[in-house]
Amino acid sequence: MDFQAANEGFMKRHRTIIMESRFDRPPEEIWSIFGDTERLNQAVGTPFAPYTAEDVLQADGSVIRHAHSRVGPFTFRWREGFGEWVEYRHVRQERLFDSGPIRELNFDVRLSPDGIGTHVRYEFFVRWSSVVGDILVLAGFAEKATKPVVETLERLVAESVENKESDGKKTLPMAPEAQSGDIIVRIADAVAKIDKSDYGHGLASRLATYLATANPLDLRRVRPLELAADWGEPPEQLIEVCVAAHAAGLLSMRWEIMCPRCRGGKSSTDVLSDLEREVHCDACNIDYERDFTNNVELVFSPEPWLRKLPSGDFCMMGAATTPHVKVQCDVEPGGIRNEEALLPPGRYRIRTLDAGGSSEIDFDGDAFPEVVVQDTTVEPGPPSAAGQIVMRNQDDKRRTVVVESTIWSDIALTGPKVIAAQAFRDLCPEQLLRPGDDVAIGRVAILFSDLKGSTALYEEIGDSRAYVLVREHFEFINARVRRWHGAVVKTIGDAVMASFPESVDGLSAALEIQADVAAFNAGREDAGIELKIGLHEGHCIAVTTDGVLDYFGTSINLAARLQGQSRGGEIVLSETMIKDPSVVRLLGDRMPDRESVMLSGFAVPMNCYRITEQTRPEVYAGRSCHS
C-alpha cells in the first residue's frame, strides 16, 4: 500500500489523501468486493453506520437523500449521495454533513488493468469548517479514517482468494452467534420436519447453518434463486426448501413490489392478500402499479427467534445493491463525461436517476451509443469509441446517467414462479389473493389431463375400486408434474389441471406421463387408465376460487378444449406451444402435423398438433432424449 496526502489545501480546510495498491487478480474478479460499499462500511465499522435515511422530493422534481445516525450521545445528519460507479472500473460515494466540524467526505476508487492484475488508486477527500476540524485533521483524523478502508479492502480480497468456495460476491461466513439450548432444539426440530417433507432435498441442515453463520446483510433478503446459483443446486430445490423452512418456522416470507426504475422493494407485506395495487418510490419520485409478472418478488429472512438482524443501512444504494446497473455517473450541466466501460452484448436501458424518460438499446458488443440527456428525454446518440461510454448532458442541471441491463430478474423469485411451485401450494394455503382481486400472469403453460371412458370404467369396476384408481392416478401425474417443475393447480372429478413456468417443461411432463401409463397399468386387477392430455401456453390471470389460487382466462379454456380433442394416449398442443423454440428442439424430427379444429366457445377454427404414441419422442430417467 502506497500512501500520500496533498497538504496544500490545509489553509482552505480541505485535504485529499491518495493511496495505491496492486492485486494479482484482474478487475473482473475483485470488482464485487470494491463495488459492495454496504459490506465495506460494515466491515470497516464506520462510525456513521448503520444509519437511517429519507428521500425528500425537491421543487424541481429531483430527490435528495437525508440521512442521520447516532454516534454515542451525538446525532449526525448529512446528505447521502446516490453513488457513482462503472462496473469493473470505478466507484465513488460522497456525504455532505449539515453540521459538525467535518462538512464533506468523499471516497473515490479507480481500478485499472495491470498485466494480469489490477492497479487500484484510492482518493479520499475531506473538508472541514472550524477550529475543531483543524484539530481533528492535525491529530490525524483523515489518515485514521481512510487507512482502515484500504486495509479492509486488501483483507477482503486476500480472504476471497483463500476461500476457494467464494466467488467474491460476499465476505466469508461469520462466526455462529451464541445460541441457547432452546434455540438449538428448535432448529433441530425444524430441520427434521423439513427433511421428512417432500421438499427438503437434503438441504435443510445446510440452510440452517447458512442462517446461523451468514453475514446479516445477506439475510435481509434471502433469495432462493441466488442461493441456488451460489450453492450449485437446482433452483426448484432451493425454492422448495425455503418454502418448507417457512412452514417449519425457520424463515419468514414477504412479498415486495419492486420499483421498475431502481428495482428497490418499496412496498412489502407478509400476506399475498394485502398486496397493494399502486406504489410510490420516493427515490425515483414515480408512482407505479403492481405487476405480478415483473415486479412482485417473494423474499425470505430468518425468524427473529433464530437470528436478530440489525436495523438501519450501511449503504442504501451501490453497485452490489443494484447489480443490474452497470454505469451510474453524474454529468454536469452542458457537460460531457467519457468513461471506460466493459459492457457485454445484450439489451440495456438508459435513463437518469430522477424521474424522466428512458430508452432501450440492443448492444452488439462493439460500440455503445452515446447517452444524450435533454429535459425529460434520454436518447441514444452516435457510437462511442469501442470500450468507452460517452454521456452528454444537454440539460441546465446536473443529471445522473444510468445504464442498466434489462436482464435483472435472474435472481428474483417473481409472483408467477412462486404460485407455479407445488411446495408453495401445499405448504402455504393461507397465501391467497383477497376476494375480487386478480393478478396478471405474463405467460404460463397449462396442462389438462382426463381419463378416457371414465363413466364406463366406473360401471365396470364399481365406485370403490374406481375411487382408488383415480387417487393413485392423481399421485402418478403429480409426481411427474413435480419432476418437471410444475404444480397441480386442482383436480376436477378425475381430471387434472397443472401449470408450468415453461412450455418445454409442460410438454416433457406430458410425454413422460403418457410413456409411463403402461407401467402404471401393469399387473393391476382393474382396467387401468388411458389418458387424454391437452397443452397450451398463454396469458391469464390468477384468482382465488374455492380457497385455492387458480388461473382464469381464455388460455385456460383453450388448454381444456385441446384436452377434449385427444382420443386417448395422445397429447394435443396449441400452435403457441409448437412455436416455442425449446419445444421444437424437444420434438426434434417428430414434429406433428397441423390440424384445424373447431373448439367449443371459440368462434373460428384453431390450429392444433397431435402427438400420438407413434410420433412421441422417447423419454428416460425423467429427461427427454432431445433436452
Domain locations in the chain? 2-162, 181-316, 325-407, 432-624
What are the cell numbers at 467?
375411487
**How far is residue 73's CA from residue 76's CA, in Å, rounded to a whole number?**
10
b/e sequence 558-591, b meaning 16+ C-beta within 10 Å: bbbbbbebbeebbbbbbebbbebeebeebbeeee
For residue 4, the model assigns a pLDDT of 53
- What residue type is assigned to position 184 of the chain? I
- H or E segment to which residue 504 belongs: helix 503-521
CB-based contacts of 139, cutoff 8 Å, min separation 6: none
Long-range contacts of residues 480-485, Cβ cutoff 8 Å, at least 24 apart: 480/509, 480/512, 480/513, 480/516, 481/422, 481/447, 481/509, 482/422, 483/509, 483/512, 483/622, 484/508, 484/509, 484/512, 484/622, 485/236, 485/420
**How far is residue 237's CA from residue 244's CA, in Å, rounded to a whole number?**
10
For residue 213, the model assigns a pLDDT of 87
Which bin fits 181, alpha (ψ -120 to 50), beta or left (φ > 0)? alpha
CB-based contacts of 419, cutoff 8 Å, min separation 6: 425, 487, 499, 542, 549
Question: By the 8 A CB rule, do 257 and 242 touch?
Answer: no
**How far is residue 559's CA from residue 80's CA, in Å, rounded to a whole number?**
53
**How far is residue 270's CA from residue 363's CA, in Å, rounded to a whole number?**
39
Question: By the 8 A CB rule, do 288 and 259 touch?
Answer: yes
**How far is residue 409's CA from residue 291's CA, in Å, rounded to a whole number?**
13
For residue 353, the model assigns a pLDDT of 87
> Which phi and psi angles does 211 have, rounded to 5°?
-65, -30
Question: By the 8 A CB rule, do 242 and 250 touch?
Answer: no
- What residue type is assigned to position 350 of the chain? I
- What is the 3 state secondary structure string of 37-59? HHHHHHHHCCCCCCEEEEEEECC
For residue 163, the model assigns a pLDDT of 59
- Tell me which residues of the chain have a pLDDT lower than 70: 1-11, 46-49, 161-179, 312-318, 408-410, 619-627
Q: What is the CA radius of gyration of the chain?
A: 29
Q: Which residue has the cell 479492509?
A: 152
432-624, superfamily in CATH? Nucleotide cyclase, GGDEF domain (3.30.70.1230)
DSSP string, 92-121: EEEEEESSSSEEEEEEEEEEEEETTEEEEE
Half-sphere exposure of 406 (CA within 13 A, CB side): 14
Q: Which fold has domain 2-162?
A: Alpha-D-Glucose-1,6-Bisphosphate; Chain A, domain 4 (3.30.530)
